Amino acid sequence: MFKRGIGDTTDIVEKEMFVFDDKGGEKLALRPEGTASIVRAYIENKLYSSSNLSKYYYYGPMFRRERPQKGRFRQFTQVGVEVFGSNAPAVDAEVMKTMSEIFDKSGISNLVKLNINSLGCPDCRPDYRKKLISFLNSKRKNLCEDCKNRLEKNPLRVLDCKLESCKAEVVDAPLMIDNLCPTCFEHFEDVKGFLNHFGVNYEINPFMVRGLDYYVRTAFEFTTDFLGASNAVGGGGRYDGLIKTLGGPDIPGIGYAIGVDRLVALMMEKKVEIGKRLKVFIIFFKDTMEDGFYLIDKLRSENITTIFDYEIGSLKSQFKKADKSGADIAIIVGSDEKERGIYTIKNMRNGTQKEIKKELIINEIKNITSIGGI
């Protein structure tokens, strides 16, 4: 599946994929990326029959036999997005916008930049491939061994070599972006237009081709200068022929993956503070258990972390446990409070407290955005 989907001339398949025989003699591979796996599941379960447009995301571990270095691990985590069913340029732009928003909300948008390119299609690539091979053959003796092999199998990938010596040799190479057919040219112009409408900043990088064979037309990558040689934080592109290649109908697709480990490394680089979830401690007693458990259920249903004293001890002992738990707020549900139809909210950080009517307590807690807001 990965050889057919990713391409058996890619570094991932040739050098990095973990492939081995199990005890029963069956050949297994640890997944090196998520797109081919999502496409396989999409085809196998005939998910294409229920909708014209399908949107998916995934989050999980991937595996590659890479040399460990800053931002690069043999087991790493990726979050990815895939959209099947449309080749419209607006889809390309929206997909890139969602990726941009993840970096914005992670607080690292000023540490990354978006590079985009068009890799053409099966109609315009063959003529360009001939031009590129002719050019690269004139530079062959100065290329690294990997690029000499790529020249025969996948010459576009020579343009993306990370060695400075190879970069210098291809600086004047013919570029795919200058050899697009009218349809691909119009598609790329529209993608740029939609990115402008969405307010997404980008740079055109005609040497960026990505490392996977299935990409056509739009390719994109978010890069950084803060992770050494591992400068790509995430990227993706359009893969309109992949579903058909893996045995499904001819349905277009586009997607991306973000390296979560690299994202976290950049957040650490910038010392981004992760938003702290509010933690509420409910203090109640045997004669107010009904109100106490009602509050616990309601707050937890609102995705608010809510805890209580399992022993249902004295007021003093419950306050001690609330303090040790790191709770931000304590809500006191005592006999007096129950009789008066109110609850007492105590700020565990500064000791201030106030009374809230019983029917308003849930909205009051939901509206608290900081501990100082009580």
196 band by pLDDT with thresholds 50, 70 and 90: very high
pTM of the model: 0.74
The predicted model gives 293-310 an average pLDDT of: 91
Share of the chain above pLDDT 90, in %: 56
Q: How many other CB atoms are found less than 10 A from the CB of residue 57?
A: 13
What are the pLDDT digits (tens) for 116-130? 999 999 999 899 999
Residue ranges and CATH numbers for the domains of the chain are 2-124+180-269 (3.30.930.10), 279-373 (3.40.50.800)
Pairing state between β 253-259 and 19-21 = unpaired
> Cβ contacts of residue 156 below 8 Å, gap of 6+?
119, 129, 132, 176, 209
CB 218 within 8 A of CB 92: yes
Look up residue 234 and give its two tokens.
């995430």
Q: Which pLDDT score is estimated for 93?
A: 96
CA gap 22, 245 in Å, rounded = 27
Q: Which residues pair with 281 in a beta bridge?
A: 307, 330
Q: Which pLDDT score is estimated for 274?
A: 67
CA gap 282, 308 in Å, rounded = 5
373 band by pLDDT with thresholds 50, 70 and 90: very low
Does 13 or 66 have the greater pLDDT score? 66
Q: Which pLDDT score is estimated for 372?
A: 41
Q: What is the DSSP string of 110-145?
A: GG-EEEEEE---TTTHHHHHHHHHHHHHHTGGGS-H
What are the pLDDT digits (tens) for 147-195? 888 887 788 889 888 888 998 999 999 999 999 999 999 999 999 999 9
pLDDT above 70 (res 14): no
With b for 16 or more beta-carbon neighbours within 10 A and e for fewer, the 184-207 pattern comes to bbebbeebbebbeeeebebeebbb
Helices (H), 157-241: 164-169, 182-198
Instruction: Please count the CA atoms within 13 angstroms of the CA of 235 that sit on its side-chain side.
Output: 24
The predicted model gives 326-340 an average pLDDT of: 91
What are the pLDDT digits (tens) for 244-289? 988 899 999 999 999 999 999 899 888 876 666 789 999 999 999 9
